[in-house]
Each structure stands twice: as structure tokens, then as C-alpha cells.
Amino acid sequence: MGASILGEPLPFEEKIIIKGWPKNSTLEDYKKLHRESLEKFEEFWASVARELEWLREFSKVYERGDYPHVYRWFPGGLTNISYLALDRHVKGARKNKVAYIWEGEPVDEKGAPREVRKLTYYDLWREVNRVAYILSRMFNLKKGDKIAIYLPMIPELPIFMLAAARLGVIFTVVFAGFTAENLATRINDLGATLLVTADGFYRRGKIVRLKDVADKAVEMSPGVRNVIVVRRLGIDVNMVEGRDYWLEELMEGVPSNAYVDPVPVESEHTLYVLYTSGTTGKPKGIIHDHGGYAVLLHATMKWVFDIRDDDVYYCTADIGWVTGHSYIVFGPLIEGATIVMYEGAPDYPGPDRWWSIVERYGVTVLYTTPTAVRMLMRFGDMWVKKHDRSTLRLIHSVGEPINPSAWRWLYEVVGESRCPVGSTWWMTETGGILISIAPGLALIPIKPGANGLPLPGIEAEVVDDEGKPVEPGMKGFLVITRPWPGMPAPPTGMWGDPERYEKVYWSRIPGFFYTGDYAIKDSDGYIWVLGRADEVLKVAGHRIGTYELESVLVSHPAVSEAAVVGAPDPVKGEVPVAYVVLKEGQTPTSEMAEQLKKWVREKYGPIATPQNVFFVSKLPKTRSGKIMRRLLVAILSNKPLGDVTTLEDEAAVDEAKKAYEELSRELKK
């Protein structure tokens, strides 16, 4: 069939059964269970929803909202995700169970972490109440108001998310690796009036001065009236009188027994807006709600992570991305799990940091990413084997396709051939996992690199341009063919832009939710997601729009035009590569290339730094003026160029080829 992930053929026929796994299931049994969930679709989701507590019972499972594909899930229901994540546990036996084990990055001479903070559910609940008190009593924020959170991986990040949720205040979290420009864009699009940030944080042994970046962003964000600053490092930072407040100073005014009622909100009330890259224009603000989202997270924590009270659950993602929102904060807290949270880099001080964490806390369930796995694999097995991993019982990966050899390394080396290893497919828009093996429910035989079948209550298909299912084994577009709880939520699916929401997701293949991914469904019904079908890159699992990087490049005074494409990379999956046309009078030198890389790093963030910048005098375009990225990608991977009949000027392709060959020669030298 010729399909591969990072050049590795896909083992369509291989099936791995985890001996003795209590929920082992045949494919037939799983398919039956899945079919039944769809036959009784509404009853099915209602029964999952009833496993959670509602402040007022919902009157319906779902209904169409004000726009064609924006649905209200569990309408009539009143809830609050902060109540589900905290109050429910604090009332019961989990009151003094550890919620977060947090580890800072710095280590002592012996390599042991210098700071470990353990917060029980009761501790967390108290902190969240105090912060909610500050937000509501001191800053007068109420249901429907908007704030932005720009914090590193410290406990205050989930605390602020939960405190905002408690008040029905809408928040957006911005990844702490993003630049001031990116932060300001998000603040302004949301209309946030308050920003939460920190003085800085540790990353790979260095300090990052976050408040300086936040200050620059606030200059570009006229709507921000106040900034709350968490002291993480204790460095000197600029504080603007009357605008900026240290959290610790605000805390002095909070009664120690502060309690703020969780505001009962409609199930479909906006919890957060998370910005993610698309093919054109500025990042899209995806809206998630309280009720439907909580139900999907509850279901997937049970089915996919098989979460139990004695688990120690560790998700290595950053909360700045959707994976962290759903599976470091809301999902595991709703389940009352013990969660490990780590501030820093996976290879600091050595490539065994994660495995030392697994050993130190007896991690049982691990959720990680293919890029990190491929990076850590390179250091050799001894770094893993140095540490006891006998507590591990289940491993999943997320963010990009996992190549079979990285899967095998997780399975054999990390998990000692004992743990199911999955590749959970989902996206910012879906809110939670939709396609995955389900070890907590019914574990089908595992195929290395495959995602598995859609979860119960989820209907997905691989289709052609017209929406017809393609033959098993053939590549097509992955679509979701029914609404699901956790989908982009009211009022508009995409913040402030219901038309774009409709256009991007529901009009490409009418009637279905278009994911933008290529996938194969094999003859057993397993789905193998192969990568993006659009102009979105997945660089080390981070979703980056080529259009955004092109905009950054053309904002440089020397640049006239730019095209960014992804080049395959053995560790990061893909990396951005730029083809640049300089303005008249500018000389294409290697210094200029370095300058442009730095420009992208400063304007967008280090994750998007182009690996190479190729200078050309024109870009290959269609007669209608669209850049033919497909050709640029083909050149990078030495693939045949395919159909070039719509090309306006063939010389442009030759030039791009030449630029690539020259640089490859130089790099080999």
C-alpha cells in the first residue's frame, strides 16, 4: 500500500495482545459495543453524562444552537467544571488525596529536584477559592468576563484556570514559549481585560524572563487594565503602579478561609477559548464549554486511560496546548486522580529526567509525545533502564503520528512489553480524544502506529473529496460524521467568527466535520492518521500555520515574498523551511538567512524557527497566483513533482530546486 509514517512502512497486519490485561476484547466485541453506542446515541451520552454530578439535570442530550453546526450539549443542565474537578472530591474521601505532585526544573548536586510541591485536593480547592476571591472581589470579574493566562508550568496555572472557571469567567491560556506579538493577538481577539503572568521560569537550566515579554504584549493590548504577577523566580521585574500586582501581595488581603461559590453555569457556557493555527489568517479561537467538554473528558479518562484511584498519572505535555488543558488539568481532576506536573525540559539535567520522575513518584499511567520519544531514544536505552519503571501499566502518545519504531521503543524499552501503548487521535477542536484504543473499556489487539477505532459514541470515517468512504487501505480525509460532546461550543464555535467556523470545518466535505488530516482505514477498521492534508505543520507536535510564518517573514523589511513548507525531520516529525524572495537591492547571504531565522524566533517563538531559508527570485505559483507549496515539498523530499500544468512559470521550480541543492551541498561540506 506504500503508506508510511516518517518513511517507515505501516504494519497493517501486526497485532499485539497484552497478556493478562483485564479488559482484553476481540475486535468483534468492540465493534458491537461501538455499534450499540451509536444506535442509542442520545441514551448512550446521557448515561455517560449522568455519571457526573449536575447542579441541575439537563433536559436534552444535544440540540442545534444559533448556527448550523454549533450544538448545545446537555442543554438545560447547570454545572461548573471547577465544582466537578474540586468540590465533588473535597466533600468525599479524596479530600486529602494528592491532586498535583509538582516538580520544578532545578536540581541539586546529586541531581535531585530542588523543589517539589504536593497539593492535595483540599489544598487545591483552598487555593482556587482564594484566587477566585481575588478575581471577583478585588478585580470585580464575573461570569462572561474575559482574562488571559500566560504562565509557565507551575501550579498557579491550573489554579487560575480553575478559579476563572469557578466564576464563569472565560479564559485563554497562552503558551509561555510564545512571543509578545502572539500573546497580544490572542488577548485582543478575546477582549481580555486582565492578564496573569509570572516573573519568569526555568527552562533547560536557564531562566526565562516572562514578565518582560508580557509587558511588551500589554503595550499592544489596550484592553488590558490589570496584570497579576506570580513570583516564580524572585527576580527584579518592572511593575507598573496601579496596573500590576504581585499575587502574593494580593493574597495578604484574602481571608484564609475564603470560599467563593462555584457559579452554576449553563452546560454550554464558555469555559475557555484556545487559539490554534489554521491554513489562513490569524489563529482561530476554539470555544469549549463546561458540560459537554467535562463529559468527554470523564469518558476518555475512563476508557482510554483506565484511570483508577491508585494511579499516579503523568502527562508530559505543556498546559499551554490543548493536551495540557484536557489531560493535565480538567480530565484527571474530574476523575480525582493524582497528577504529576513537571516544569522543565525532558533532557535536563540529563536525558533520564522523565524516567527519574516515573521512578520517584511511581508513575503508573504515562501520556507523552512521539517527538520527545524520538529525541530520548537517541540517547540510548541505558538512560531509561537506570530507573525503575515497574509501576508503569499504561502508556499513550499524542500530537502527531507515531512511527512504528518509536512505538516499539515505548512498548519494549519504556514499558517492558507489559503496558498497552496507544496513539490517541484528537485535536484542539475536538476537546478530547476521539480515536484510540480503550484499555479501560475493551482493549482490542494493538497495531504499532495505528490510532485504533473511534471511541464509543463517536463516528468517524475516511472519505474522498465527495465525502464517500474510500476503500480500506486507501488514503483519504478523516471526518467526524456526528456531533460529539466536547466539540467547538456555543455561541459561535470559533470565537467571534461563526462564518469561518462553518467554512473551515463543515463546508469542505458537506455534512461532516473536516479534520484536515489524511488517514487510512485498514481492513480491520483501524484508523491510521498520517498527517495534515492542509497547510498546517506539526513541528515537534506543535501546530503551526505556514501562513502565520509567511506573514512574519514578509513583515521583515528585507523580504518581499515568502513560502513556508514542512520538511520531514527524523525527530520533530517535520520542520519549517522557508523559500524567500528578497526585496530589490537586498543580497541573499547566509547572514541574511540567519537574520530571518532569528526574526521568526523573536516574532513567533523558538518552536517555529525555520531549519533552512532558501533564497529564490520567484516562487512557483499557479496562474491564479497561489503558491504551489506541493512542489516545494516535493523538492525537499526528492519526490516527483507531479502535475505542473497549472504552473505559471516553470523557471520558478528550477530555481527552488537549485536553491535546495546548493544548500544541501553546503550543509554536507
Q: What is the contact surface with ligand 6R9 in residues (CB under 6 A)?
A: 276, 321-323, 398-401, 423-428, 451, 515-517, 529, 532, 538, 543
Handedness of CA 538, 539, 544, 546 (dihedral sign): negative
- Minimum gap (Å) between residue 516 Cβ and ligand 6R9: 6
- Minimum gap (Å) between residue 517 Cβ and ligand 6R9: 5
- Minimum gap (Å) between residue 559 Cβ and ligand 6R9: 28
CB-nearer residue toward ligand 6R9: 195 or 463:
463
- Asked if residues 565 and 542 have their Cβ atoms less than 8 Å apart, the reply is no
CB-nearer residue toward ligand 6R9: 58 or 321:
321
- Asked if residues 610 and 600 have their Cβ atoms less than 8 Å apart, the reply is yes
- Minimum gap (Å) between residue 186 Cβ and ligand 6R9: 15
- Minimum gap (Å) between residue 325 Cβ and ligand 6R9: 10
CB-nearer residue toward ligand 6R9: 105 or 429:
429
CA–CA separation, 327 and 324 (whole Å)? 5
- Minimum gap (Å) between residue 532 Cβ and ligand 6R9: 5
CB-nearer residue toward ligand 6R9: 370 or 483:
370
- Minimum gap (Å) between residue 421 Cβ and ligand 6R9: 11
**Residues 6+ positions from 401 with CB-CB distance below 8 Å:** 5, 6, 370, 423, 449, 528, 529, 530, 531, 573
Residue 138, Cα to own-chain centre: how many angstroms? 32
Q: At 46, phi and psi to the nearest 5?
A: -65, -40
CB-nearer residue toward ligand 6R9: 211 or 288:
288
Q: At 565, phi and psi to the nearest 5?
A: -135, 170
Residue 255, Cα to own-chain centre: how many angstroms? 36
CB-nearer residue toward ligand 6R9: 16 or 55:
16
CB-nearer residue toward ligand 6R9: 266 or 318:
318
CA–CA separation, 550 and 600 (whole Å)? 9
Q: At 321, phi and psi to the nearest 5?
A: -110, 165
Handedness of CA 102, 423, 268, 62 (dihedral sign): negative
CB-nearer residue toward ligand 6R9: 351 or 516:
516
Task: Report the candidate in 138, 135, 136 with the shortest Cα–Cα distance to residue 149.
Answer: 135
Task: Report the candidate in 312, 309, 307 with the shortest Cα–Cα distance to residue 392.
Answer: 312
- Minimum gap (Å) between residue 642 Cβ and ligand 6R9: 22
User: What 3-state class would DSSP assign to 151?
Assistant: coil
Single-letter code of the amino acid located at 295: V
CA–CA separation, 548 and 558 (whole Å)? 18
CA–CA separation, 559 and 578 (whole Å)? 12
CA distances to 146, 191, 236, 306 from 225, rounded to whole Å, are 12, 11, 22, 44
CB-nearer residue toward ligand 6R9: 401 or 576:
401
CB-nearer residue toward ligand 6R9: 334 or 580:
334
Residue with cell 484511584: 309
- Minimum gap (Å) between residue 31 Cβ and ligand 6R9: 21
User: What 3-state class would DSSP assign to 659?
Assistant: helix
| Radius of gyration for the alpha carbons in the chain, expressed in angstroms and rounded | 24
Q: At 335, phi and psi to the nearest 5?
A: -85, -5
- DSSP E strand stretches across 115-193: 116-120, 146-150, 170-173
Strand-pair category, 542-545 with 265-266: unpaired
CB-nearer residue toward ligand 6R9: 226 or 515:
515
- Minimum gap (Å) between residue 205 Cβ and ligand 6R9: 27
CA–CA separation, 328 and 368 (whole Å)? 11
- Minimum gap (Å) between residue 460 Cβ and ligand 6R9: 12
- Minimum gap (Å) between residue 317 Cβ and ligand 6R9: 8
Question: What is the distance between the terminal CA atoms of the chain, rounded to a whole angstrom?
Answer: 37
CB-nearer residue toward ligand 6R9: 104 or 439:
439
- Minimum gap (Å) between residue 436 Cβ and ligand 6R9: 8
CB-nearer residue toward ligand 6R9: 229 or 322:
322
**Residues 6+ positions from 382 with CB-CB distance below 8 Å:** none
CA–CA separation, 17 and 79 (whole Å)? 40
CB-nearer residue toward ligand 6R9: 543 or 621:
543
- Minimum gap (Å) between residue 197 Cβ and ligand 6R9: 23
Cell of 80: 461548573
- Minimum gap (Å) between residue 65 Cβ and ligand 6R9: 22
The partner residues of 276 in beta bridges, in order of sequence, read 284
Cell of 209: 524572563
CB-nearer residue toward ligand 6R9: 129 or 515:
515
Burial classification of residue 405, based on how many CB atoms lie within 10 Å of its CB (0-12 exposed, 13-18 middle, 19 or more buried) = middle
CA–CA separation, 209 and 541 (whole Å)? 24
